[in-house]
Structure 1
Amino acid sequence: MLNKNGHWSPDDIAWEQFDPSRVDSDILAVIRAASLVERNSADYVAYLKRVISDDPEFRAAAEQWGHEEHQHGIVLGRWAEMADPDFDFETAFRRFTEGYRIPVDAEASVRGSRAGEMVARCVVEAGTSSFYAALRDATEEPVLKDICNRISKDEIRHYRMFQDYFQRYQEREHLGRPRRAWIAATRFLEAEDDELSFAYYCANMPPEEAYDRSEAGRAYARTALGCYRRDHLGKAVKLILKAAGLPPHGRLGDLAFQATWLFLKVRTRGQLAA
């Protein structure tokens, strides 16, 4: 059932259909990490409300977005605990937040403008939508498949929300296409920053084991990247090009997709070899 904001709740998940025989241990490890990142939305809400402090409508939208992202984490964490009773979601989340924080005290967007911030958020939502679509199609466990499908659709809706606010701020800031493209490209490459690696470590490795960013990043990427198919990546590339102000179709779109697909395949082979 959808609530007044058009969003579902954990009660809508058919938890009784959980099938432990269809849990893939590698996908489970990735889900444990993803649950921590999704749950950590409060810091991102605080950051967005701080750098866009005089737009009440956006602040309310950011609050709702954060609530939905937080719920994604809770639902993924619940599923992970069902799949692995030894996994303690709350303990892992505390480890994660004690060791990883974003700059919530920033006075202005790290992207240089409000419109630039919205471009970066669109890139994130495009990437996460494709990520959960890939996991949805990779898993055979029915409850996780439903959860990932719901989250993937949420992220597309979030993309559209940030795109709408980009249009609002763009009317005043007139962010040039080269700058938009630069922000989109740099935010895409930031997908390999410390956040996911550290989340994977906190969710899957004991506290007494020292954190090795490269090792944790490789372990995460081996499974996460391997789930992608061409259609998953193709949709993400089109959305990112649109956020960058570039035509998502035609020759440029094809070249961008081929380059990104090649990058993904090289990265996947590299992680498997490692």
Structure 2
Amino acid sequence: MHRTQVGGALLPVGDVNAAVSAFLRTSPPRLRWDVDFDFDWSGADANRLTDGERSAVEFITIIEDHLPGYFALYEKNFPVDDSVDLETFTHNRELYHFTIRWAQEEDTHARALERYQVAAGIAGADELRVSLAQEGHKTFDLPYTDAVQFFTYPLVQEKATQIYYQHLRQVVGDPLLREILVRLSKDEARHFSFFADMVRLYLQRHGDAVVGPIREVIADFRMPLADTIRGYWRWALKIADTARYDHTEAYDHLIKVVNRAVDAKSDKVDELISFVTACRVLQTT
């Protein structure tokens, strides 16, 4: 794999360690869950779902199953090998403690949704593997050059995903699927908290220097795979008819992070808050 070190300012290693340690403490062994042992798969029943709910399950399975592509993005931009100097390696190695746990949890989400589809009768195992592979082998990339952007994007994405899972679990007819969505939404909330911590630390350490890169993320934000899944926007509108699907709901949470990070706001920070607010209003009217 070609290695490139992301540009822009990096956080001090101590800050990264603090954020990673806080995240890891949110998932002690007794609170972790397992696909094979924590659900009664015999109770899965797609007959309890509407066509829209089935479609939503299929959609989010594809999104979660693309985990290898998401993880590869962090491997590429925050490499842990001799392509970077020792100081950068130390920073990236601390971040890796998070990304490896995050990847394991997201892969568990993909396995749970795949298992549900098969157990509920939505799809056959072989058929589903092939359809997921057709999407999964497509390259996922983000057009960013600054490190802070690789935390801002998932801050919004993870919170938007969490919110959608909460909306979806309120309407689905199968109790087992509701149980799965509860587990997934709790994990996504924890992931959001890590990325929120990182963005907060960037704003506290680097102030106005990271405002522009953060703004760029919001200016052209798209949820994962929006440019690779065939018929993505039609599908997104369809699942939104089943349960509210609006990534801009997460913008309010980004604004809260900015407000908490900065006591005395500069003109640039004020403009950022106004811009994010305007994007939220524009896309919901």
Contact 1:115/1:169 (8 A) holds in 2: yes
Matched, 1:112 2:145: yes
Residue of structure 2 aligned with 1:35, choices 56, 61, 83 = 61
Residue 44 of structure 2 corresponds to which residue in structure 1? 18
Distance 1:217 1:71 in 2: 24
Match 1:226 to one of 241, 254, 277: 241
Report the secondary structure of 1:113's partner residue. coil
- CA distance change for structure 1 residues 116 and 219 in 2, over 3 Å: closer, same or farther? closer
Q: 2 CA distance for matches of 1:136 and 1:52?
A: 35
Mark the CA change 1:166 to 1:233 in structure 2 (over 3 Å): closer, same or farther: closer
Superposition pairs of residues 157-168 of structure 1, within 5 angstroms: 157-168=190-201
> 1:15-164 counterparts in 2 under 5 A?
15-53=41-79, 54=89, 55-84=92-121, 86-87=123-124, 88-98=127-137, 100-103=138-141, 110-164=143-197
Aligned to 1:101, what secondary structure does the other structure show? Answer: coil
Gaps of 5+ in 1: 104-108, 199-212, 263-274
Say whether the 8 Å CA contact 1:119–1:244 is kept in structure 2: no
Question: Structure 1 residues 240, 37: closer, same or farther in 2, change over 3 A?
Answer: same
Q: CA contact under 8 A between 2:156 and 2:247: conserved in structure 1?
A: no
Read off the aligned partner of 2:139 and give its amino acid letter. Answer: R
Aligned-pair CA distance for 1:227:
3.3
**Per-residue CA shift, 1:36-95, capped at 9, x if unaligned?**
221221221122132123221211210111111111111111111123354332122222
What is the Cα deviation at residue 192 of structure 1? 7.2
Match of residue 241 from structure 1: 255
Runs of 5+ unmatched residues, structure 2: 1-26, 80-88, 260-268
Please state if 1:177 is matched with 2:211.
yes
- Who is 2:4 aligned against? none
Specify the code of the residue in structure 1 equivalent to 2:38. Answer: D
| SS of residue matched to 1:12 | coil
Q: What is the aligned partner in structure 2 of residue 186 from structure 1?
A: 220
The one-character-per-residue Cα deviations of 1:96-143 (angstroms, maximum 9, x if unpaired) are 233x1124xxxxx74221112111110111111112112112211111
- Between Structure 1 and Structure 2, how many residues are aligned? 233
Match of 1:9 in 2: 34
- Label 1:86 to 1:225 Cα distance change in 2 as closer, same or farther (>3 A): closer
Q: Which has the larger share of helix? A: 1
Larger radius of gyration: 2
CA RMSD, 1 decimal: 3.2
TM-score by length of 1: 0.71
Helix, strand or coil for the counterpart of 1:114? coil
**1:153-172 CA distances to partner (integer Å, 9 max, x unpaired)?**
21111011112233444555
Q: Which moved more, 1:164-173 or 1:146-155?
A: 164-173
Identity %, equivalent residues: 18
Work out the CA distance in 1 between the residues paired with 2:143 and 2:225.
Answer: 18
Tell me, what secondary structure is at the counterpart of 1:138? coil
**What is the TM-score of this pair, normalised by structure 2?**
0.69
